[in-house]
């Protein structure tokens, strides 16, 4: 099995995808190990020669920053921190995102500015490699003083508290440790704060949503191409000449993708087409392309974040400085997560409009794409479903990042709300997936009503595979099953 070494290369979205898909284990590089040990030793030495207050290390937290804690209570201070801050509630975070939280927390700690003990990082690595996933909840973070509540739940099993998922079962950490013959860790000065300060909840959601977004954008182009052919559209809007005079990268790429999907289609080459097609077909390069360009920028922000140190205070052994600052503040992520919601919602919005056009009974297609319309309702209500979901996405696009609320007795007086932006972004992603699945059902149904004419070899091959899971709709049937099957079909592979 391949091992990914933390601290050798910059972590990218593509690298994370490879780690996930190939089920790589992770390990600290020699350089990362050296940095972690050096920083921890520095803090030991620092505390042995000074009694001055250092935030979160020998003081209370937040509003309690001025309360000095005695040296013999520093271990208890960090233990209490995890217990008191594990105030998460709501739904459980999906396991795939918890796994990313572990990976990103380890990455951030590897830079040697957090004064974490090597044994603590190694235990987090053991969790990741053995697929021991702490139970974390979606609600509780303001996205400013780090993702305190969710990260506290992520760290609780280190001290023998909380619950975990292990081999398909949810069990107490105490029970897990008995099974594995492990002992709970005793956290040293600063360690609890290093574990719960940080943006790894927001970051993990963002990385997960970006990975899903890249997949969905590929499907959006493929499904749009099927719809374009099935609606008897013109090829002109996808010719290169129009796009090189407005050369947005995403627009150029999308137009090329649509052309490739339609190459060799009998339908697209038919004569007698109307002069212009509706915008939802004609403007696919401009709309899909704008979302792609937006997501490219959003990815750059997240790749900076996941290669950063985001706890507080930051420890600099070479400079003999411990700096209390604000790297935990999630504003860069809150803004871009809101942006990602908007970019993806537009993919769903234009997809729903194409579905509406396809069932409208124009361009020689029967109403609702069904024989004996009236006796059969066909795909009438799938469009209702798509419209409902598209409308929900518009509501979810209300930005979280413009909100703030005062906490910790006024000490934490501006927060990002990035965690709320993160959780609603995942809802938008999943909604867009369902809208596209409905368009896939609709477009393939319309395409087969154009027989005996055929689409391109690529589209016909995709249609053949799709028909193995969702058959042509001859008469009314339970369409919820078709939508579920279409989503599963899209999840299994990239369109090609």
The position carrying tokens 């024989």 is 371
Residue 423 to residue 419: CA distance in whole angstroms: 6
Query: Can you give the C-alpha Rg of the chain in angstroms?
Result: 26
In 3-state terms, what secondary structure has residue 92?
strand
- Sequence-separated (6 or more) residues with CB below 8 Å from residue 436: 216, 219, 220, 223, 347, 348, 351, 490
Known active-site residue 44: no
Q: Are 417 and 143 in contact (CB under 8 A)?
A: yes
Give 171's strand partners. 164
Could you say which of 42, 55, 166, 205 is catalytic? 55
In 3-state terms, what secondary structure has residue 412?
strand
- Sequence-separated (6 or more) residues with CB below 8 Å from residue 119: 185
Residue 42 to residue 1: CA distance in whole angstroms: 36
The position carrying tokens 């044994």 is 119
User: Of all residues in the chain, what percent are helix, strand and coil, respectively (each to 5)?
Assistant: 55, 10, 35
- Sequence-separated (6 or more) residues with CB below 8 Å from residue 87: 140, 149, 152
By annotation, the residues acting in catalysis are 55
């Amino acid at each position: 099995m391949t091992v990914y070494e933390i601290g050798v290369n910059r972590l990218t979205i593509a690298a994370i995808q490879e780690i996930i898909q190939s089920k790589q284990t992770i390990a600290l590089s020699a350089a990362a190990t050296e940095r972690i040990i050096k920083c921890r030793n520095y803090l030991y030495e620092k505390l042995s020669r000074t009694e001055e207050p250092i935030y979160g290390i020998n003081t209370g937290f937040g509003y309690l920053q001025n309360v000095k804690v005695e040296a013999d209570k520093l271990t208890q201070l960090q233990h209490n921190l995890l217990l008191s801050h594990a105030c998460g509630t709501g739904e459980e975070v999906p396991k795939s995102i918890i796994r990313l939280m572990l990976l990103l927390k380890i990455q951030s700690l590897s830079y040697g500015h957090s004064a974490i003990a090597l044994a603590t990082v190694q235990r987090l690595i053991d969790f990741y490699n053995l697929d021991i996933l702490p139970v974390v909840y979606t609600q509780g973070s303001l996205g400013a003083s780090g993702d305190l509540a969710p990260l506290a739940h992520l760290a609780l099993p280190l001290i023998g508290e909380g619950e975990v998922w292990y081999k398909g079962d949810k069990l107490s950490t105490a029970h897990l440790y008995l099974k594995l013959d492990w002992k709970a860790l005793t956290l040293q000065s600063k360690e609890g704060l290093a574990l719960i300060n940080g943006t790894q909840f927001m970051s993990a959601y963002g990385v997960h949503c970006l990975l899903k977004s890249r997949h969905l954008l590929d499907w959006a182009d493929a499904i749009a191409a099927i719809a374009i052919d099935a609606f008897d559209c013109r090829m002109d809007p996808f010719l290169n000449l129009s796009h090189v005079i407005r050369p947005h990268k995403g627009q150029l790429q999308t137009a090329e993708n649509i052309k490739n999907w339609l190459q060799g289609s009998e339908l697209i080459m038919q004569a007698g087409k109307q002069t212009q097609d509706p915008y939802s077909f004609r403007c696919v390069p401009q709309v899909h392309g704008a979302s792609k360009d937006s997501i490219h920028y959003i990815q750059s922000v997240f790749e900076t974040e996941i290669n950063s140190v985001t706890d507080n205070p930051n420890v600099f052994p070479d400079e003999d400085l411990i700096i209390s600052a604000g790297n935990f503040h999630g504003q860069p992520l809150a803004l871009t997560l809101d942006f990602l919601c908007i970019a993806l919602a537009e993919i769903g919005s234009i997809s729903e409009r194409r579905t509406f056009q396809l069932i409208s009974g124009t361009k020689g297609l029967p109403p609702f794409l069904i024989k004996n319309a009236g006796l059969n309702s066909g795909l009438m209500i799938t469009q209702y479903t798509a419209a409902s979901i598209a409308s929900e996405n518009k509501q979810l696009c209300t930005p979280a990042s413009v909100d703030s609320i005062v906490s910790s007795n006024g000490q934490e007086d501006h927060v990002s709300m990035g965690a709320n932006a993160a959780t609603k972004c995942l809802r938008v992603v999943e909604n867009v997936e369902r809208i596209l699945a409905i368009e896939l059902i609709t477009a393939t149904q319309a395409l087969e009503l154009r027989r005996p004419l055929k689409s391109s070899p690529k589209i016909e091959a995709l249609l053949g595979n799709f028909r193995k899971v969702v058959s042509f709709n001859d008469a009314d049937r339970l369409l919820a099953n078709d939508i579920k099957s279409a989503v599963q079909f899209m999840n299994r592979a990239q369109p090609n």
